[in-house]
Amino acid sequence: MARIVLKFGGTSVGDIERIKNVARRVKREADAGHGVAVVVSAMAGVTNQLVGLVNQISPLHDAREYDAVVATGEQVTVGLLALALQELGVSARSWTGWQIPVVTDNVHGKARIQRIDTAELERRFDDGQVAVVAGFQGVGPDNRITTLGRGGSDTSAVALAAALGAERCDIYTDVDGVYTCDPRIVAKARKLDKITYEEMLEMASLGAKVLQTRSVEMAMNHRVRVQVLSSFADAPGTLVVDEDEIVEKEVVSGIAYSRDEAKITLTKVADRPGVAAAIFGPLADFGVNVDMIVQNVSDDGKSTDLTFTVTRADLDRAIKVLKENRNGLDFKELRPDAGVVKVSVIGVGMRSHAGVALTMFKTLADKGINIQVISTSEIKISVLINEQYLELALRALHTAYGLDAA
Amino acid sequence: MARIVLKFGGTSVGDIERIKNVARRVKREADAGHGVAVVVSAMAGVTNQLVGLVNQISPLHDAREYDAVVATGEQVTVGLLALALQELGVSARSWTGWQIPVVTDNVHGKARIQRIDTAELERRFDDGQVAVVAGFQGVGPDNRITTLGRGGSDTSAVALAAALGAERCDIYTDVDGVYTCDPRIVAKARKLDKITYEEMLEMASLGAKVLQTRSVEMAMNHRVRVQVLSSFADAPGTLVVDEDEIVEKEVVSGIAYSRDEAKITLTKVADRPGVAAAIFGPLADFGVNVDMIVQNVSDDGKSTDLTFTVTRADLDRAIKVLKENRNGLDFKELRPDAGVVKVSVIGVGMRSHAGVALTMFKTLADKGINIQVISTSEIKISVLINEQYLELALRALHTAYGLDAA
């Protein structure tokens, strides 16, 4: 008996009619004779409402109690979906995190799953019973309810699929798959049939909000075949799989972007060992994450310009930290710039193809777009550009890499 | 260290401000050095909302899933109240039914508590930690969430007080105590300082909705001192205690009533053995509860009239059952009457005082009120009268038994 995990997000279970719609989809898989586990989120809006109550009582709340309150959202959905399935004649039972149990560490509010005991679920699969599992939650070592952090239901689903050795893990969402680029900006963007874990990871971490980054990492580590598809349309979505499964690899699979970027340039920084540590040490101490870093070759052998990026929310803090921690750190000027965006070309095919970066640089140059910072990884080239060129850059690159829909 | 259990109903925790108010009351008890457990209901309206969702999905729902959904209401409140206490500097932790655990049978929707393991709570009392406990819920033998039925939080509180050997169990509600009669009808009604378990039980079962009947039974069985008081006023309430604790017993403690009564009279019923079984057997089979029963002495030795009462909601069903199950049951006429009410005089002092019933009958006769059915127990005399005389009867009896406030 093949085991299948299905996951439905908050929008997909947003009201009674949608829950009934989900039940019909689940019934189809159950009728096909599969062992089916369905992971669901809280009904859209419910988690925010619960978080609102917590914050009204206690802005700096105890994370244990926060978890106890917000985990109720998913508990309501699993009960309702189990009932909706029963109404369709499908044997179904709801499961909270502690009932299965989904054992996590005790980092409340962003716990990590350590172990899922699937014995009872598997026994019930054999009796034809569907397991309706509360996403986003688990139980800690001291028997307290834990939650996995926002978007954690994706992680719940993938972890459960891994524990069950599931044939696939279908993540139903409000988009119908992973696109070559954001279709709201690039009209010619195409839905991808398949994408590798590595590419999906780069997409996810760049803000393409289809899947939570942690869930993709987990899928990659456990080789869980994840499918992203729409709960509102009846069409295949995008399969996230191992590289080996993709025969005809595109050189570039997609173009991602992030608006949440700010740039800081320090001019005339002394060009000697220990300077980078003097800059990035204090930033790390104050919780500022630094992304791209570029240091130019020094003109005179004595000083250089250093540029790096942080999220826009961290910009003010980064500036404050740098100004207040100048012992041993010498620079002439601090130039902040919140008007930048990051554009990334992603594809595992890059590994075996030369000239991918060149195409990017040339395409942007042809459009008169200045590249401020460049950063590369094995399967990604990212550039920082002025935000006013974002749409132009995305469309030009999409065409240049032959991604446009016919 | 004295242990105290406090219970707050849905109205008392109806919004954020009220939850903060409850936290201040709890803090006072904690500051007094007591080991404090607080039992709370769902915020007012929440349980009805959850039941509404369940009924929309599945009118004839699986009680296991019903319980999983509706138990979330209390889970939200305990988390919020624990946070509110922490904000006041009080060490506090929330507890669901399964976490303690409150072990129940598996009669979902109206489970009975079998055992409460208080070891961990007691250990934490010693560390000065307040336990914030979800009322209305427990965990069944198969690790599923159970609920105790509407109003079950009172039962949770009393059961916890019994398990902890608590010095008292304070039930905070939206009334400030138990009255000699409904103050909305009898302006001269007085709040009682003390009432016996037996009297409270009669009051509760007659629809004085201060305490759930089961919670009073449990308090009586385990000799838990229960206090009913208002969460909005700062005054002592009514203590529900053992008869021994009341030195000066009133002959009559209170006058209760129930509007939810309907009467059925069967005329010319054969006066022979087995007739009562032929009537009440089928009613019981169809789930109709019969309350008062009166059979007149037969005139002719051959037939008699038989009168009994059911709840108004059951009247139509009772009529249908009697008409459709006439094998062996012979009567001339079936006379239904939904226009009746039951008035009861209650007091443990009756046991040692003669003439209590006579005062009742005489008082009603003086006002021209006809008594249709009489039923008595050791500490209660109930009469059925036409509903139009309800207010008149209550006021007259209240005066006649010397209950009027000075």
CA distance B287 to B289: 6
Tell me the two tokens of residue A65. Answer: 């109690």
3 state SS of A351 = helix
The Cβ of residue A45 has, within 10 Å, a number of other Cβ atoms equal to 12
How much is the pLDDT for A208? 61
How much is the pLDDT for A103? 98
Tell me the two tokens of residue A145. Answer: 């309810």
Q: Distance (Å) from the C-alpha of residue B197 to the closest C-alpha of chain A?
A: 36
Chain B environment of A53 (Cβ under 8 Å):
16, 76, 80
Find residues 177-196 of chain B whose CB sits inside 8 Å of chain A.
none
Q: Does residue A233 have a pLDDT over 90?
A: no
CA distance A104 to A67: 13
pLDDT band at residue A278, thresholds of 50, 70 and 90? confident
3 state SS of A101 = coil
Q: What percent of chain A has pLDDT over 90?
A: 74
How much is the pLDDT for A276? 83
Q: Quick one: A271 exposed, middle or buried, by C-beta within 10 A (0-12, 13-18, 19+)?
A: middle
CA distance A86 to A373: 57
For chain A, say whether B63 makes contact (Cβ under 8 Å). no
Out of A68, A76, A93, the one facing B78 most closely (by C-beta) is A68
How much is the pLDDT for A207? 59
CA distance A227 to A133: 18
Q: Quick one: A47 exposed, middle or buried, by C-beta within 10 A (0-12, 13-18, 19+)?
A: buried
Q: Does residue B275 have a pLDDT over 90?
A: no
3 state SS of A64 = helix
CA distance B283 to B289: 7
For chain A, say whether B95 makes contact (Cβ under 8 Å). no
The single residue listed with the structure tokens 């909000």 is A209
Chain B environment of A54 (Cβ under 8 Å):
79-80, 83
Domain annotation for chain B: domains and CATH numbers: 3-174 (3.40.1160.10)
Which of A113-117, A295-299, A398-402, B135-139 is least confident? Answer: A295-299
Tens-digit pLDDT profile for residues B171-215:
998 888 999 999 899 999 999 999 999 999 988 766 567 888 889
For chain A, say whether B80 makes contact (Cβ under 8 Å). yes
Amino acid in the structure at residue B40: V
Mean pLDDT of B103-130: 96
How much is the pLDDT for A396? 97
Phi, psi of B304 (to 5 degrees): -150, 165
The ipTM value here is: 0.83
How much is the pLDDT for A44? 93
For chain B, say whether A94 makes contact (Cβ under 8 Å). yes
Query: Which DSSP state fits A339?
Result: E
CA distance B140 to A41: 25
Tens-digit pLDDT profile for residues B161-173:
999 999 999 999 8
How much is the pLDDT for B345? 96
H-helix or E-strand spanning residue B66: helix B63-70
How much is the pLDDT for B207? 59
How much is the pLDDT for B132? 98
For chain B, say whether A46 makes contact (Cβ under 8 Å). no
Tell me the two tokens of residue A213. Answer: 């980054």
Tell me the two tokens of residue A260. Answer: 């949440």
Q: Where are the beta strands (DSSP E) in B24-112?
A: 35-40, 92-95, 102-104
For chain B, say whether A99 makes contact (Cβ under 8 Å). yes
CA distance A61 to B80: 10
Q: Does residue B149 have a pLDDT over 90?
A: no
Average pLDDT, chain B: 92
Amino acid in the structure at residue B109: G
CA dihedral B288, B294, B299, B302 (to 10 degrees): 40
Beta strands at A194-196 and A238-241: parallel, antiparallel or unpaired: parallel
What does chain B come to in residues?
406
The single residue listed with the structure tokens 């509360």 is A134
Tens-digit pLDDT profile for residues A183-215:
899 999 999 999 999 999 988 766 567 888 899
Q: Does residue B342 have a pLDDT over 70?
A: yes
Average pLDDT, chain A: 92
Asked if A76 lies within 8 A of B72 by C-beta distance, the reply is yes
Q: Does residue A308 have a pLDDT over 90?
A: yes
Out of A16, A54, A96, the one facing B80 most closely (by C-beta) is A54
More confident residue, B211 or B144: B144
Beta bridge partners of A134: A40
Q: Does residue A365 have a pLDDT over 70?
A: yes
Tens-digit pLDDT profile for residues A126-173:
999 999 999 999 999 999 999 998 779 999 999 999 999 999 999 998
Q: Does residue B90 have a pLDDT over 90?
A: yes
For chain B, say whether A21 makes contact (Cβ under 8 Å). no
Q: Does residue B298 have a pLDDT over 90?
A: no
